[in-house]
């Protein structure tokens, strides 16, 4: 069974769970305006106005342009595929008129970007078509369905993510060989990108910032391209990197310390900072259970770091990972305006998260580690091999 077939089977159960009669994903020119859910439910490009429907009985139907029909049929995910030449309107209206659903879940969301794939124009088009048959007021957000579909990972999805994690870890270890005084952030990044190419995998996000490499103090700290800045003795070097395997991503961060002349170990301030990060990650992981509110996990790690005298980190503790490095609608974060209601949501079995606190060690740089975990019925398990020892780079 393919991942698309797995996810369609999962979606059929979700309609009953959330008391939804029909779910429609309505798109056009998906290579330009692709809904983020499409790789899970069809996995092929769609050209003209296209409607992918699942009803509560479990029947699936796709209404697509004539030349998209064959590729949609070959997915094996749809019980019925209808095609059109002049337009989809009459077929879509006939579909809903025959079924008279009480609720029609549509691919929009106010809260979650990952569930908000319909464009405004397509929303207006669908609303007009449904108004003509008296069903426009039955439209509701499909956010619940799409959220659950993305975050409840199947065995095949977890297998792909685990492979992506393992390959990224190999590349991190390989990169440690070229971190040395005089090497630039850009040179380190180029090496890591070339290692991804050599292994035949894609980067998890844009090449400008995958990887991000930050050497020493006073850097951009995150979400910024590697520069010509040179590694110096006494620098903390942190790297943020991930790859995509079989469509699924990894997202990890690792940290190194470059020894200064005469040093036999990293300074106590760097070691203390690193140990605090490791402890914060483990404290958060241990607390992760299905049914726990996401913001509580962030609070545990954030409070620990602040209690050790560091400033709180200016971002969420962790995000979900899947088809994208940043995925899902549950966030391990504080109740800040930019996060909306995501931190209020509950953890569920099958969710994959990063755990990525950070702190600043003055004069040396940013100490940050990012691990990946999956929520199981009995708690969270590492998908990555956690970095629990500061990686030391000799001064020579």
Given this model, what pLDDT does residue 111 score?
A: 87
pLDDT at 1 over 80: no
Query: Which of 242, 259, 278 has the alpha carbon at shortest distance from 387?
Result: 278
Domain map (residue ranges) of the chain = 3-150, 152-393
Helix 185-198 and helix 155-175, axial crossing angle in degrees, nearest 10: 130
pLDDT tens digits for 174-199? 999 999 999 999 999 999 999 999 99
Q: Are 161 and 246 in contact (CB under 8 A)?
A: no
Given this model, what pLDDT does residue 80 score?
A: 97
Place of tokens 């990952």: 114
**Beta-sheet pairing, 104-106 with 22-27:** parallel
Given this model, what pLDDT does residue 262 score?
A: 85
pLDDT tens digits for 260-276? 988 889 999 999 999 99
CA-to-CA dists, residue 257 to 64, 231, 366, angstroms = 55, 10, 11
User: May I ask the CATH class of domain 3-150?
Assistant: alpha beta
Q: What percent of the chain has pLDDT over 90?
A: 93
As a whole number, the mean pLDDT across the chain is 96
Given this model, what pLDDT does residue 316 score?
A: 97
Query: Which of 241, 253, 249 has the alpha carbon at shortest distance from 194?
Result: 241
- In the predicted model, what is the mean pLDDT of residues 299-313? 97
pTM: 0.92
pLDDT tens digits for 348-385? 999 999 999 999 999 999 999 999 999 999 999 999 99
| Cα separation, 332 vs 117, whole angstroms | 23
CA-to-CA dists, residue 298 to 87, 111, 164, 255, 280, angstroms = 49, 20, 25, 21, 10
pLDDT at 396 over 80: no
Question: In angstroms, how far is the first alpha carbon of the chain from the final one?
Answer: 53
Query: Which of 366, 35, 334 has the alpha carbon at shortest distance from 223?
Result: 366
Q: Strand, helix or coil at 115?
A: helix
pLDDT at 320 over 80: yes
In eight-state DSSP terms, residue 79 is: S
Given this model, what pLDDT does residue 187 score?
A: 97
pLDDT tens digits for 29-88? 999 999 999 999 999 999 999 999 999 999 999 999 999 999 999 999 999 999 999 999
Given this model, what pLDDT does residue 221 score?
A: 77
pLDDT at 220 over 90: no
For 152-393, the fitting CATH number among 3.40.640.10, 1.10.150.120, 3.30.428.10, 3.90.230.10 is 3.90.230.10
């Amino acid at each position: 069974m393919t991942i698309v077939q797995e996810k369609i089977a999962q979606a059929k159960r979700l309609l009953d769970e959330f008391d939804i009669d029909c779910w429609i994903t309505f798109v056009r020119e998906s290579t330009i305006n692709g809904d983020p859910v499409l790789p899970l439910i069809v996995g092929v490009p769609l050209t003209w106005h296209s409607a992918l429907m699942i009803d509560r009985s479990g029947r699936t139907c796709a209404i697509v342009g004539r030349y998209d029909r064959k590729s949609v049929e070959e997915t094996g995910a749809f019980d019925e595929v209808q095609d059109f030449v002049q337009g989809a309107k009459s077929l879509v209206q006939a579909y809903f008129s025959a079924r008279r659903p009480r609720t029609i879940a549509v691919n929009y969301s106010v809260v979650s970007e990952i569930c908000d794939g319909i464009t405004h124009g397509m929303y207006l088009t669908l609303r007009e078509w449904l108004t003509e048959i008296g069903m426009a007021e039955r439209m509701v957000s499909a956010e619940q369905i799409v959220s659950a579909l993305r975050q409840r990972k199947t065995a095949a999805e977890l297998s792909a993510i685990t492979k992506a994690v393992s390959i990224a870890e190999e590349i991190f270890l390989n990169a440690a060989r070229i971190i040395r005084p005089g090497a630039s952030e850009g040179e380190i990044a180029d090496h890591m990108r070339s290692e991804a190419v050599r292994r035949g995998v894609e980067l998890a996000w844009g090449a400008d910032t995958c990887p991000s490499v930050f050497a020493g103090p006073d850097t951009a700290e995150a979400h910024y391209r590697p520069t010509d800045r040179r590694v110096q003795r006494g620098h903390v070097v942190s790297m943020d990197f991930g790859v995509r395997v079989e469509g699924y991503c990894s997202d990890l961060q690792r940290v190194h310390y470059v020894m200064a002349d005469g040093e036999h170990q990293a300074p106590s301030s760097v070691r203390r900072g690193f140990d605090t990060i490791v402890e914060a990650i483990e404290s958060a992981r241990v607390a992760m259970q299905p049914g726990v509110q996401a913001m509580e996990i962030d609070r545990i790690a954030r409070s620990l770091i602040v209690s050790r005298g560091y400033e709180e980190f200016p971002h969420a503790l962790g995000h979900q990972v899947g088809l994208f490095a940043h995925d899902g609608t549950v966030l391990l974060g504080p109740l800040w305006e930019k996060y909306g209601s995501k931190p209020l949501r509950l953890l569920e079995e099958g969710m994959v998260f990063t755990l990525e606190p950070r702190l600043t060690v003055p004069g040396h740089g940013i100490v940050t580690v990012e691990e990946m975990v999956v929520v199981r019925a009995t708690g969270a398990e590492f998908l990555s091999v956690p970095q629990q020892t500061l990686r030391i780079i000799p001064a020579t």
